[in-house]
Amino acid sequence: MNDNVDGESPINTAQLAVKANVPKRTIRTRRLEKKTEQRNHEGGSSVLLRTKQQAANYIQCTPRYLERMVRAGRLRALKPTGKLVRFRQADLDKFLESGATIGGGE
């Protein structure tokens, strides 16, 4: 059920957004993140996966740079379907710790 913690009647996303003075999309995103966290802690996959864009933001580079590093064998990626690419958080951390640099090295 969609009961509030207070025991009040359920509030839909639009009502909650108005009450909190934030966009509806933000409320939906927060709920989705909470569900994902709960699933991870309840025995689902505990491996944190990132999309190409999320990984690029994390490393502070472009998605194209990540593609080149995967092709060069310097970074591991998961490819469950034809276009879908995911990166494990641990692999991104290893890549950063390896001392990889962007641009011409000396």
pLDDT, tens digit, for every residue of 37-73?
555 444 445 568 999 999 999 999 999 999 999 999 9
Q: Are 13 and 31 in a shared domain?
A: yes
Rounded distance between C-alpha atoms, residue 78 and residue 58, angstroms: 17
Q: How does residue 86 score in pLDDT terms, banded at 50, 70 and 90?
A: very high
Total count of domains within the chain = 2
pTM of the model as a whole:
0.52
What string of H, E and C letters represents the secondary structure of the chain?
CCCCCCCCCCCCHHHHHHHHCCCHHHHHHHHHHHHHHHHHHCCCCCCCEEEHHHHHHHHCCCHHHHHHHHHHCCCCCECCCCCCCEEEHHHHHHHHHCCCCCCCCC
Q: Are 23 and 40 in a shared domain?
A: yes
Q: Are 15 and 53 in a shared domain?
A: no
pLDDT for 60: 92
Domain of residue 17, residue span: 1-46
